[in-house]
Amino acid sequence: MNSEDVLITGFESYLQSKGFTSNGIKSRLKILKRYRKWLAEEHLEAEQVTYNELLSFMKWCSNKGASQRTIQSYMGAIKHLYEYFIREEITDKNPATDITVKGIKRKTLYHILETHELHALYNSYPANSLAQRRNKVILGMLVYQGLKTAELGKLETSDINLREGKLYVPGSTRSNSREMKLESHQVMDIYDYVLKIRGEFAAMDTKRKYQTKEATDKLFIGEGGNQPSGGLSNFMTQLMLSVRKINPNVKNAKQIRTSVITKWLKMYNLREVQYLAGHRYISSTESYLQNDMEGLQEEVQQFHPLG
């Protein structure tokens, strides 16, 4: 087996270990072939390529008619190539780390909350009133299980297994179901809410806030034992106002979920993160890789135009 075959085989195995689909691997191997063509034309060795030389590669791709989005895909694959090189100790740096293609409309990139910041939100959240004790349970499922607001609103009491410390998240047309582990420090707060606080909410006079309705099995309820007509929106508004007092960098629940998924990407492979996030498609999980950079702020700190 020649050196080129060894590289392709090794890189393919690396991509498989990261949980990429067969089609995803195939497309990245095609990009590798194109990159190696440019390296040959420039008389360069892949492991010696510098940051500035990668900018030249981007310019070369642009001159060949590649769109900005295509070049973005190329650079994503090349970042993985150098991560593979680092793992195999072929090189000790990734020249593609700080390169981002300018001019592409993209999803909002949030300030990523570090793990200790997520813990601090939960540990510092006050739990004095009934509403605060309920909302702290909601916050825990945001910062530890990365749930979406819609998923929180659909949870029922039967989805909680306190004995095993697990949470079942039902699927929907847009997400897959999954079973998730509860953190040990969440369990007592959930126990208190399910067995005490929720009952106190249910026993309140429904005329105080909501119209009388048939009792619900929904996990998160308000006064009178039901969710408000707007779902959890009122609860979430209260929650976010309190959370921002703890950490002004917190914008919304989506930012917290993005931070949790970004943390998972540093711990598990793509398939595992896809399961934890409830994504129906691996491409949804891959889209969070753009946030997987140290020190990412609300906008990418450094853009590199091709022209």
Per-residue pLDDT of the chain (307 residues; tens, 9 = 90+): 566 777 888 889 999 888 888 888 888 999 999 999 999 999 999 888 998 898 899 989 888 888 888 888 888 889 999 999 998 888 888 988 877 676 555 555 678 899 999 999 999 999 999 999 999 999 999 999 999 999 999 999 999 999 999 999 999 888 999 999 999 999 999 999 999 999 999 888 655 444 444 568 899 998 877 877 667 888 999 999 999 999 999 999 999 999 999 999 999 998 999 999 999 888 788 888 765 544 343 333 433 434 3
Instruction: Give the relative orientation of helices 68-87 and 3-17 as an angle to the nearest 10 degrees.
Output: 100
Strand residues in the chain grouped as ranges (E): 160-161, 166-169, 178-181
Rg (CA), the chain: 24
Q: What is the pLDDT of residue 190?
A: 96
- The structure tokens 């510092």 sit at 124
Residue 252 phi, psi dihedral angles, 5° rounding: -165, 180
In whole angstroms, what is the distance from residue 219 CA to residue 235 CA? 13
Q: What is the pLDDT of residue 295?
A: 39
CATH architecture of the domain with residue range 115-291: Orthogonal Bundle (1.10)
Q: What is the pLDDT of residue 18?
A: 82
Given a contact cutoff of 8 angstroms between Cβ atoms, the answer to whether 265 and 12 are in contact is no
Instruction: Give the relative orientation of helices 270-277 and 253-265 as an angle to the nearest 10 degrees.
Output: 150
Stated pTM of the model: 0.63
Topology of domain 3-87, per CATH? DNA polymerase; domain 1 (1.10.150)
Q: What is the pLDDT of residue 291?
A: 57
**Domain range summary for the chain, segments of one domain joined by +:** 3-87, 115-291
Q: What is the pLDDT of residue 226?
A: 80
Q: What is the pLDDT of residue 211?
A: 42
By DSSP bridging, strand 178-181 and strand 160-161 are unpaired
Given a contact cutoff of 8 angstroms between Cβ atoms, the answer to whether 129 and 100 are in contact is no
- DSSP label at 209? T
CA separation, residue 186 to residues 17, 146, 149, 219 (Å): 32, 14, 18, 15
